[in-house]
């Protein structure tokens, strides 16, 4: 027997999962989707929560790698290399916020299908 789920609740919880990634380096981007993952029984909401967690773990990993390289090269070259790498760091911020907003829009447009971020490693 097929279960029916409330579309409004599904949309709201999926929106919260993807919207939490806009809170940057706080604990909210991970704790919000983890809480929803454990409290919800809707398979689409669970898929969106897992995808949001995976996206933010990827953002943390790549930000650590890129900012580490950025900081090291800036230190070695007395800040000159930092000026060259600044567009890469700016692109990372745009990538993070841009895909979060796209995920929110796509989730609201089609609440019955989980959103999949491109180019991420799915850990969960």
Q: What pLDDT score does 2 carry?
A: 54
| pLDDT tens digits along 13-61 | 999 999 998 887 677 788 999 999 999 999 999 999 999 999 989 988 9
Q: Which pLDDT value is given to residue 83?
A: 74
Separation of alpha carbons 84 and 99, rounded Å: 24
Question: Cα(124)–Cα(114) distance, rounded to whole angstroms?
Answer: 15
pLDDT (0 to 100) of residue 1: 42
Mean pLDDT confidence for 74-86: 76
Cα torsion angle, 87, 85, 120, 19, sign:
negative
pLDDT tens digits for range 88-104: 878 888 998 999 999 99
pLDDT for the residue numbered 25? 65
Please name which of 89, 106, 91, 90 lies closest in space to residue 18, comparing C-alpha atoms: 106
Q: What is the pLDDT of residue 124?
A: 87
Domain boundaries, the chain: 7-109
């Amino acid at each position: 027997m097929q279960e029916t789920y409330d579309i409004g609740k599904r949309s709201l919880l999926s929106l919260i999962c993807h919207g939490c990634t806009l809170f940057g380096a706080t604990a909210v981007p991970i704790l919000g989707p983890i809480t929803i993952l454990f409290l919800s029984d809707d398979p689409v909401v669970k898929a969106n929560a897992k995808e949001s967690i995976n996206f933010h773990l990827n953002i943390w990993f790549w930000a650590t790698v890129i900012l580490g390289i950025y900081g090291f090269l800036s230190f070695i070259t007395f800040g000159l290399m930092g000026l060259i790498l600044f567009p890469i760091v700016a692109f990372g911020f745009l990538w993070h916020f841009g895909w979060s907003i796209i995920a929110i829009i796509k989730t609201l447009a089609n609440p019955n299908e989980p959103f999949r971020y491109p180019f991420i490693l799915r850990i969960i």
